[in-house]
Amino acid sequence: MRIIPAIDIINGQCVRLTKGDYSTKKVYNENPLEVAKMFEDVGIEHLHVVDLDGAKAQHIINHNILESIASKTNLQVDFGGGLKSDEDLKIAFESGAHQVTGGSIAVKNPAKFLNWLEIYGADKIILGADCLDQKVAIQGWQEESDKEVIAFIKEFVAKGVSYVICTDISKDGMLQGPSFELYETILSTVHPVKLIASGGISTFDELPKLDNLGCEGVIIGKAIYERNISLKQLETYQLNRS
């Protein structure tokens, strides 16, 4: 299972929200590149970067930070937040994104999302399936759709999606543990899928449990920044897995 730290960006700063609520913003570092290098120094190879300004504005904004991280580290970055147009995607990949995540676009304009999948391939396009009460949430989690999350994932996997990031919004930033039951249900009913768990990670002990469920990756945010999980623990985990 890949360990994927998260860097969420507002106004060029590394921040975390609680349950996606912008009013709960907490700034952890004013230099996202510095944070990225810190992860790279302990053997982390992957990074999840979310352009929260872009998610709100509905177009890419913080591509300069993506470019800085991609050009000055060897981290493979998956980038999301507000990617709505072909131009947004072009900018993201030209700025160094290894993968991009599309969530709202898959709900609002599935034809465009599937076109991206066809053009760039299943290894480059991640389906963002973030949910509240098992309904897919969109527009930077500010709006709930009528899409049931498991049916939504099934629909797109049947059309060629490989990678899926699923965040239970009710867990995100709460440091109370992830949605093990939801992930178990997805993994037992959707085949094949490379499921990346996100939201609620609170202790190191949860990582082997997610691995045993069959998650392909796990995104960790606040648990690292609040030091519930140490970089040393992640370094040791990576070494033991290699």
Active-site positions?
Answer: 8, 130
Q: Residue 164 contacts by C-beta under 8 Å, 6 or more apart in sequence?
A: 126, 127, 128, 129, 153, 156, 157, 186, 193, 194, 195, 196
SS3 state of residue 224:
helix
Tokens 């992830």 belong to which residue?
178
Burial class of residue 133 in the structure, from the number of CB atoms within 10 Å of its CB (0-12 exposed, 13-18 middle, 19+ buried): exposed
Of 154, 118, 122, 162, nearest to 136 by C-alpha is 154
Question: How far is residue 238's CA from residue 169's CA, in Å, rounded to a whole number?
Answer: 27
DSSP 8-state assignment for residue 168 = B
Pairing of β 194-198 and β 217-220: parallel
- Angle made by CA atoms 177, 191, 96, in degrees to the nearest 5: 70
At 97, list the tokens.
């994104």
Q: Which helix (H) or strand (E) holds 145?
A: strand 143-148
